[in-house]
Amino acid sequence: MMINSLQYYNDTQMSHGSMGKIMGTRFEVILLDKSEDAASAIWHDIQQELMRLDKLLNRFDPESEIAKMNTQAFLHPVAVHPELFQILTDCRIYHEKTMGLFDISLKDFSKVVLLESDCAVSFLSPEITLDLGAYAKGYALQVIGGKLKKYNVLNAFLSFGDSSILGIGNHPYGNSWKVSVTNPFVHHEVLGEIDLQHTSLSTSGNSPSYSNHIVRPDSGRRNNERKLVCVVAGNPVDAEVLSTALMVATDQERQEILQNFEIESFKIYNIE
Amino acid sequence: MTSNKQNKKAVDLSLRQFIKNLGSIAGGTALLASTPWLQSFTTDKLSEIKKEKARLAVIGTGSRGQYHIHNMLEIGHLEIVALCDNYMPNLKDAAALCPKAKTYTDYKKLLDSAEIDGVVIATPLNWHAPIVLDALDAGKHVFCEKAMALAMDECKAIYSAYQQTDKVLYFGLQQLFDEKYIKGIQMIHNGLIGDIVGLRCHWFRNHDWRRPVPSPELERKINWRLYWESSAGLMTELGSHQLEICNWAMGQRVPVSVSGMGDIVHWKDGREVYDSVNLVYRYADGVKINYESLISNKFNGMENQILGNKGTAELAQGLYYLEDDNSSPAIQQLLAEIQDKVFAAIPAAGPSWRSETKGKYKPHAIVKNTAGVHSGASMIGADADGSDLIMSAFAQACITGEQAKNIVEEAYVATILCLLGNQAMAEQKTIYFPEEYKIPYMKF
């Protein structure tokens, strides 16, 4: 349990929570202007919530709701937790809005049947496995962001392994949270800067140590381009979904997809 | 000096309080059971003897002896009544520190004195066994510097005498009274770093280990550490502490074999003992201690690393690290900048940062505000390393007659391991723990 720690900095009334092995990466939060006791209570709540979400959404945990569904939904319709059902419904909408490029089945979402009346899921093909890897971190940021609002946290910085970030309010010495996009192939090379203020940033791409992990669902081709896609949006789920979809979209598709969303900005960095 | 004195007393009391607290918290009894030598070392026990003073003699008043004298002068429940050394300059220096003490040049005459309750032995290693055995025989309580003795048979003889005596016997394993080691080992025993999968201990210095010699015939007397007749070299002088820590961390488990290489690499000045040693001690289940000491390069300093499948403890520095505890460098930068009142972009946006690619671990302190970290550079001793506390405990034991558990056994195991290491290096072969030196305390 020690890997999930909260450190309080007295001088600056700043708390740093850090939680390992969650959503496939590390979650970190910097909370400002809260007392040690208040931050501690908030951090406890955040950890509980993240563990709950991981149990719901992480298909690599055999005990998770989604893993159980994945093993049985081809055999018979599986009733799932209403929250998971809502998420899957949401994913179907995103699937449509991204012209099929956001696809949690990684193959063919048309083979996934959502039975609204029973809150159940059925697969029409044994090859279907649902993976919320391109969705869950954005969803978790949205949920945790909502919690922080309830706790009246005005300024905070939340990050899942640097790739999914939510900036609430601003840095104590600035009017936003400022992050730079760095070239994963060239150490210390800055590609651009992004200001976050009540907005979230999701970055997708390949790096020397982690490549070929994004798949174009219709062709099944793994993307190995040296590029990064950054999407800034008020809604962390929009940012998360789009950064993946735009990574594999053609220029034409990108134009059409973006018409379906209201985002702050996006940027594609092609790295030579 | 006054503030230093008050400070030392405060340290003494605070560890006593810490130990007392250990006994009163939930699970503390179990924790205290893993450090049984501390059970008699509490503020309550100290107050029981508040009017009494142990009458102690120091035999061997060189640098380490004088270091002990400085500590002893700070301890209220002892007085130094006698000093002994056969090298007059050292005896004179010590006498200047405690002018009321009687001086001797022959330890046997000192042992005849009925006015001495106990002796503190800080002589060259070859003198440990004869003086310890004679002192116990003379009915004195004994505190002897580590290592236990120069030869394995001498260790066995001391162990046998210890089993028969009603006197108190301590060895200078000060880390047993060092809060950061006590807490660190307890945290390890509580599973902080998971299963112990390896141990790495090293001690690096860049020093020839020589003392100035006023005239050539005194070379072997003053530089006794450099010759096999009086020293077992780096293993006993430095390694014994570290191998004891391994034994402690492993819960009395003892390696079944040792292999190693020892050489004189740099200080080719007529010395006999190695200035470079590398050894592997292997436990029955395959876990190994890697031990390395070199005294012609100090880059790596001194450290005792206990490696677990979930983390690593660096006990000399009082730190631990967890395998899956890597904060993102960008977040670390942001935290530092906020503290420095700097607003700048942090390099946070990127494809998922993956913790296993990061080389740096975040250190956590075993004891908050840890003081007195031993860099390994001092040849005599470090501040707040438990040396004063173990002396305080010994003096208390001289009054109560209560032997602290496990100290002799730990010293025995550590010394035998050092000497087996030397044997492995000398014979250039793997040495298996000999049956004749096994004691019931050891688990294999």
In this complex, the residue of B325, B345, B350 whose CB is nearest that of residue A163 is B350
DSSP B37: G
Residue type, B265: V
- Which residues in chain A have Cβ-Cβ distances shorter than 8 Å to B341? 172-173
CA gap A130, A244 in Å, rounded: 16
Which pair of structure tokens corresponds to residue B433? Answer: 């723990």
CA gap A244, A216 in Å, rounded: 9
DSSP A255: H
For residue A193, the cross-strand partners are A180
CA gap B374, B117 in Å, rounded: 32
What mean pLDDT is predicted for residues A152-175? 94
Q: Measuring CA to CA, how many Å separate A119 from each of A127, A143, B25, B202?
A: 22, 21, 50, 62
A204: three-class secondary structure by DSSP: strand
User: Per the CB < 8 Å rule, is B331 touching A28?
Assistant: yes
Nearest to A210, CA basis, from B60, B357, B115: B357
How high is the pLDDT of residue B356?
43
Residue with tokens 């390393």: B385
Confidence of residue B371 (pLDDT cuts 50, 70, 90): very low
User: Per the CB < 8 Å rule, is B348 touching A180?
Assistant: yes
Asked if B362 and B327 count as a contact pair (C-beta separation under 8 A), the reply is yes
What mean pLDDT is predicted for residues A193-217? 83
Q: Chain A 151-180, CB below 8 Å of chain B: which residues?
A: 157, 159-163, 165, 171-174, 178-180
Q: Which helix (H) or strand (E) holds A96?
A: helix A82-97
How high is the pLDDT of residue B23?
62
CA gap B47, B396 in Å, rounded: 10
Any residues with CB less than 8 A from the CB of B311 and at least 6 apart, and which?
B192, B193, B194, B320, B321, B322, B323, B325
CA gap B280, B241 in Å, rounded: 16
Whether chain A has a CB inside 8 Å of the CB on B338: the answer is yes
CA gap A144, B106 in Å, rounded: 77
Cα A15 from chain centroid (whole Å): 23
Whether chain B has a CB inside 8 Å of the CB on A1: the answer is no
What proportion of chain B, given as a percentage, has pLDDT over 70?
87
| pLDDT at B115 exceeding the cut of 50 | yes
| pLDDT at B379 exceeding the cut of 80 | no
C-beta atoms surrounding B271 within 10 Å: 19
Whether chain A has a CB inside 8 Å of the CB on B343: the answer is yes
User: Per the CB < 8 Å rule, is A26 touching B335?
Assistant: no
Which pair of structure tokens corresponds to residue A67? Answer: 């893993």
Beta strands in B185-256 (DSSP E): 196-204
How high is the pLDDT of residue B376?
60
How high is the pLDDT of residue B9?
59
For residue A200, the cross-strand partners are A166, A233
β A190-196/A177-182 pair status: antiparallel
| pLDDT at A52 exceeding the cut of 90 | yes
Asked if B79 and B98 count as a contact pair (C-beta separation under 8 A), the reply is no
Flag whether A49 is in a domain.
no
Any residues with CB less than 8 A from the CB of A43 and at least 6 apart, and which?
A6, A15, A17, A29, A31
Cα nearest neighbour of B331 on chain A = A28
How high is the pLDDT of residue B381?
57
Q: Which residue has the higher pLDDT, B369 or A148?
A: A148
- Which residues in chain A have Cβ-Cβ distances shorter than 8 Å to B335? 9, 14, 16, 30
Q: Measuring CA to CA, how many Å separate B247 from each of B181, B197, B442?
A: 13, 14, 9
Flag whether A168 is in a domain.
no
CA gap A171, B52 in Å, rounded: 62
Flag whether A70 is in a domain.
yes
Of A108-117, A154-163, A210-219, the range with the lowest mean pLDDT is A210-219
| pLDDT at B211 exceeding the cut of 60 | yes
CA gap B422, B430 in Å, rounded: 11
Whether chain B has a CB inside 8 Å of the CB on A145: the answer is no
Which pair of structure tokens corresponds to residue A4? Answer: 């999930």
Mutation site for A-interface testing, chosen from B332, B337, B353, B368 by largest number of A Cβ within 10 Å: B353
For residue A177, the cross-strand partners are A196
For residue A9, the cross-strand partners are A14
Cα nearest neighbour of B349 on chain A = A181
How high is the pLDDT of residue B339?
85
User: Per the CB < 8 Å rule, is A162 touching B325?
Assistant: no
Q: What is the mean pLDDT of chain B?
A: 89
DSSP B224: G
Confidence of residue A11 (pLDDT cuts 50, 70, 90): confident
DSSP B433: P
User: Per the CB < 8 Å rule, is B192 touching A2?
Assistant: yes
How high is the pLDDT of residue A156?
97
Confidence of residue B351 (pLDDT cuts 50, 70, 90): low
Q: Chain A 28-67, CB below 8 Å of chain B: which residues?
A: 28, 30, 32
In this complex, the residue of B343, B347, B364 whose CB is nearest that of residue A173 is B343
Confidence of residue A80 (pLDDT cuts 50, 70, 90): very high
How high is the pLDDT of residue B51?
81
Flag whether A99 is in a domain.
yes
What domains can be seen in chain B, in order of their start residue? 2-176+386-406 (3.40.50.720)
Q: Quote the number of domains for chain A.
A: 1
β B102-104/B169-171 pair status: unpaired
What mean pLDDT is predicted for residues B284-302? 97
SS3 content of chain A, % helix, strand, coil (to 5): 30, 30, 35
- Which residues in chain B have Cβ-Cβ distances shorter than 8 Å to A182? 347, 349-350
What proportion of chain A, given as a percentage, has pLDDT over 90?
73
Confidence of residue B1 (pLDDT cuts 50, 70, 90): very low
In this complex, the residue of B324, B331, B350 whose CB is nearest that of residue A203 is B350
Nearest to B32, CA basis, from B282, B416, B350, B404: B404
pTM: 0.69
Q: Measuring CA to CA, how many Å separate A270 from each of A185, A227, A238, B25, B244?
A: 11, 4, 22, 60, 58
Nearest to B244, CA basis, from B420, B414, B37: B414
Q: What is the mean pLDDT of chain A?
A: 91
| pLDDT at B355 exceeding the cut of 60 | no
In this complex, the residue of A2, A32, A203 whose CB is nearest that of residue B322 is A2
CA gap A60, A70 in Å, rounded: 11
Mutation site for A-interface testing, chosen from B352, B354, B368 by largest number of A Cβ within 10 Å: B352
| pLDDT at B261 exceeding the cut of 60 | yes
C-beta atoms surrounding A126 within 10 Å: 10
* Cα dihedral B382/B383/B388/B390 (nearest 10): -50
Q: A215-235 burial by CB neighbour count: b if 16+ within 10 A, else e?
A: bbbeeeeebeebebbbbbbeb
DSSP B385: S
Residue with tokens 């309010």: A169
Q: Which residue has the higher pLDDT, B189 or B285?
A: B285
Domain range for A97: 66-123
User: Per the CB < 8 Å rule, is A24 touching B339?
Assistant: no
What mean pLDDT is predicted for residues B172-189? 89
CA gap B161, B176 in Å, rounded: 22
Beta strands in B274-418 (DSSP E): 276-282, 288-294, 302-308, 311-314, 319-322, 346-349, 364-365
Confidence of residue B207 (pLDDT cuts 50, 70, 90): very high
Any residues with CB less than 8 A from the CB of B372 and at least 6 apart, and which?
B382, B383, B384, B385
CA gap B296, A14 in Å, rounded: 45
User: Per the CB < 8 Å rule, is B349 touching A204?
Assistant: no
Whether chain A has a CB inside 8 Å of the CB on B115: the answer is no
What mean pLDDT is predicted for residues B126-144? 98
Whether chain B has a CB inside 8 Å of the CB on A77: the answer is no
CA gap B412, B408 in Å, rounded: 6
Is the bond into B114 cis (omega within 30 degrees of 0)?
no
Asked if B281 and B258 count as a contact pair (C-beta separation under 8 A), the reply is yes
Of B201-205, B296-300, B316-320, B332-336, the range with the lowest mean pLDDT is B332-336
Nearest to A47, CA basis, from A13, A79, A23, A69: A23
Whether chain A has a CB inside 8 Å of the CB on B351: the answer is yes
How many residues comprise chain B?
Answer: 444
- Which residues in chain B have Cβ-Cβ distances shorter than 8 Å to A230? 349
Whether chain B has a CB inside 8 Å of the CB on A16: the answer is yes
Q: A238-257 burial by CB neighbour count: b if 16+ within 10 A, else e?
A: bbbbbbbbbbbbeeebbeeb
For residue B312, the cross-strand partners are B307, B321
In this complex, the residue of B192, B324, B354 whose CB is nearest that of residue A210 is B354
Flag whether A136 is in a domain.
no
Rg of the Cα atoms in chain A: 19
Which pair of structure tokens corresponds to residue B90? Answer: 């050292």
What distance in Å separates residue A165's CA from the closest CA in chain B? 8
